[in-house]
Amino acid sequence: MRADVDLVVPVKTLQRAKTRLVGVTDDRPALALAFALDTITAALPAVRRVLAVTEDPAVAAELRAMGVDSAPGPEGLNEALRFGAAMLRQRDRRCVVGALQADLPALRTAELRAALAAAESRAFCPDRQGTGTTLLLSAPGGELEPEFGVGSAEAHSAGAQALIGPWPSLRNDVDTAEDLELATGLGLGPRTREALSPVC
C-alpha cells in the first residue's frame, strides 16, 4: 500500500453515465454503478484513502456501506476532481493526491500498486489508446492539475511522467461495447459480472 497516496474518484449521476453502452444491458445505471464499485474495491488496498465525488445518492449509499467516504461536488469532471483533491489535501498537505477514473471494472489491485510504485513525481497513466488518462498523480504536496477530456494524455504529459507498464487493467477504461469486451477478457470484477449476468 502507498501510505502517502489518497485518491479521488469521480462518479457521475447514474442516469447520465455510460450512454454509449446503451444496448449492452437493460439496466445501464446498474452497470455504471457496478463499474464504480469494482474500481473502488480494487483501489482500496493499494492506497491510504479513497474519496468519491458524486451527486448520486444511490452511489453514496453503496459507498457508505463499503466504508468509503463520498461528497457531492461541482459539475464537470475537472471541477469535481479539483474539489475532491482540495478536500484530501486539507487532511494531509504532503500527500500524493491522485485521480482515478471510475470505469475500470477489470482493475487489479496489484497492477495499480505497481503503477503507483513506479511514479517518481507527478505522473499519469494513459488509457490503452494512448489519448485519454485513467490515473493522474500529483507530486507530494503538489497540485493535481487535472485536464481530463479529449486529448488528456497529451495535456497531462507536460511536466508529468507517463506510467506505461504491464498493467492492462489500469489502462482499460470502458466507454464502448468494444472496451467492455476487452475488459471481460482481462477479468471483470464481481459487481460488473453480476450486472451483466442476464445478458451473458
Q: What are phi and psi of 47, to 5 degrees?
A: -135, 175
Nearest-angstrom CA–CA distance, 105 and 174: 8
- Find out whether 152 is annotated in a ligand binding site: yes
Nearest to 58 by CA among 93, 20, 11: 11
Is residue 108 classed as helix, strand or coil in its secondary structure? coil
- Find out whether 13 is annotated in a ligand binding site: no
Nearest-angstrom CA–CA distance, 52 and 142: 20
Answer yes or no: are the C-beta atoms of 161 and 94 closer than 8 Å: no
Strands 47-53 and 2-10: parallel
**Neighbour tally for 167: CB within 10 Å:** 21
Nearest-angstrom CA–CA distance, 71 and 179: 29
- Find out whether 197 is annotated in a ligand binding site: no
Residue recorded with cell 469535481: 80
Cα-only R_g, the chain: 15
Residue 18's region, left for phi above 0, alpha for psi from -120 to 50, else beta, is: left
Q: Extract the annotated binding site for phosphoenolpyruvate.
A: 133, 149, 152
Q: Extract the annotated binding site.
A: 133, 149, 152
